[in-house]
Amino acid sequence: MKRPEGYDRPAAADERAAGTKGTLTKSTLTKGTLTKSTAGKGAAPKTTADSSAGTQSTAAKQTAARAGRSRSTGHGDHTSTEPITLPAADPIATVSRLRAATGSAPSASPSSAPAPREPHDTPLTPAGARRKLRAARRARKLYEREEVRRFTWRSRRRRNIWLTALGILGALVAFVLVGTFSPLMALRTIEVVGANRVPAEQIQSALDGQLGTPLPLVDFAEVKQELSAFTLIQSYVTESRPPNTLVVRIVEREPVGTLVTESGFDLVDAAGVVIQSSVERPAGYATIDARAGVGSAGFRAAAAVIAALPADIRATLDTVTAATTDDVTLTLAGGTRVVWGSAEKSDFKAVVLAALIVSHPVGTVGEYDVSSPDSAVLR
């Protein structure tokens, strides 16, 4: 018998690895089958009978595998190095057999198991449905209210501004009405200030018809009519002093000279209003000689010149003559004359005259001519 060539050489490393791999494959597959069987038992207790049955089944499978390997070689004295492939086992059938052996019932298919009931699938009672409906309505109203507030904040701000302004205006109107018609603002006291020649009691007595009237409602036209009867009052100013006082400030007429009359002398102001009448000439006032009367232009020019003189010169003034507005002449005490001319530039002429009297006192000269103040003349 002829031996095959190379029979005495050791098997190649890859063939040995393949053989080892096949053995491991068989062992692993057997272990996988046992693992599936153990997992399929679930929570059932493991018994001795179950272990014996599993061992016999595994031994039978290994014997069949060895027989098949021997048949595949064709010769009894040769060992095949090809891996052995076991037929794939149905895991569901294996689990079914194991459960049948242990007596446990197969579990139902996942597709046939009833689906868990969701909470919203719980049937509602009529009362529960009404509660849910009311809750939904409340939530909807709350949402709509928030949306309205979000889109109308500008208009609400303008409305608040207008309401605030109207409130302030209303408060002011109420305050004015209360101050106008309240008895607390009624006039009770009339105070007169600046009256020297006119007795203050006469003025208060003339205005007592306004007592009891609220200050804002005092009739000032009637007050003017009552005060115009006093010729010595040149002007006046009224002041309301809450809560119930009226102050009347009087400006009396200032006399500028005297006029000679048939009965004596009349003390008059710059407007020709008679302030006082007396038989004798009032001391300290010059006599005005206005031939055309108190309403003439000459009288007004003489009054303007007297008003422009300093107080010390006015005290020494004896007479003022003014036939026209351009020939005003002053006579000082002692007979010294002052040629004044017109009433224009009276303030400047008064300053020049005062300087001349200082440099040339009264009595040293007979006449001061200031009709042209830029070139005054002494005579």
Q: What is the DSSP string of 27-52?
A: HHHHHHHHHHHHHHTTTSPP-HHHHH
Span 107-129, mean pLDDT?
61
The answer for 42, left when phi > 0, alpha when psi is -120 to 50, beta otherwise, is left
Highest mean pLDDT among 57-71, 166-180, 198-212: 198-212
What are the tokens at 193? Answer: 């200030």
What pLDDT does 293 receive?
76
What are the tokens at 345? Answer: 């530039």
What pLDDT does 283 receive?
87
More confident of the two residues 119 and 340: 340
Q: Are residues 318 and 331 in contact, defined by beta-carbon separation less than 8 angstroms?
A: yes
What CATH number is given for 186-252 in this structure? Answer: 3.10.20.310
What pLDDT does 359 receive?
92
How, if at all, do strands 245-252 and 265-269 pair?
unpaired
Share above pLDDT 90 across residues of the chain, in percent, rounded to a whole number: 31
Q: In which band, very low, low, confident or very high, does the pLDDT at 3 lie, cut at 50, 70 and 90? A: low
Please say if the pLDDT value at position 351 is more than 60: yes
Q: In which band, very low, low, confident or very high, does the pLDDT at 5 lie, cut at 50, 70 and 90? A: low
Residue with tokens 């055309």: 292
Share above pLDDT 70 across residues of the chain, in percent, rounded to a whole number: 68
pLDDT in tens, 222-258: 999 999 999 899 999 999 998 889 999 999 999 999 9
Helices and strands, counts by H and E, the chain: 10, 12
What pLDDT does 108 receive?
45
What are the tokens at 299? Answer: 């009288």
Span 127-154, mean pLDDT?
88
What pLDDT does 271 receive?
87
Sequence spans of domains, the chain: 13-101, 186-252, 255-378
Please say if the pLDDT value at position 104 is more than 70: no
Q: Are residues 256 and 306 in contact, defined by beta-carbon separation less than 8 angstroms?
A: yes
DSSP string, 318-353: EEEEESSTT-EEEEETTS-EEEEESSTTHHHHHHHH
Domain 255-378 has CATH 1.10.274.100: no
CA distance 342 to 373: 11
- On the CB side of 305, how many CA atoms lie within 13 Å of its CA? 32
Q: Are residues 109 and 55 in contact, defined by beta-carbon separation less than 8 angstroms?
A: no
**Lowest pLDDT segment from 5-9, 134-138, 156-160:** 5-9
DSSP string, 291-321: TT-TTSHHHHHHHHHHHHS-HHHHHTEEEEE
> How far apart, in Å, are the Cα atoms of 83 and each of 25, 198, 370?
8, 151, 157
Q: What is the mean pLDDT of the chain?
A: 76
What pLDDT does 340 receive?
95
Please say if the pLDDT value at position 309 is more than 90: yes
Amino acid identity, position 243? P
pLDDT in tens, 42-75: 333 344 334 444 444 554 455 544 544 544 444 4
Q: In which band, very low, low, confident or very high, does the pLDDT at 358 lie, cut at 50, 70 and 90? A: very high
CA distance 311 to 316: 9
What angle do the packed helices 297-308 and 346-359 form, to 10 degrees? 50
> How far apart, in Å, are the Cα atoms of 43 and each of 46, 104, 203, 324, 373?
9, 10, 126, 148, 143
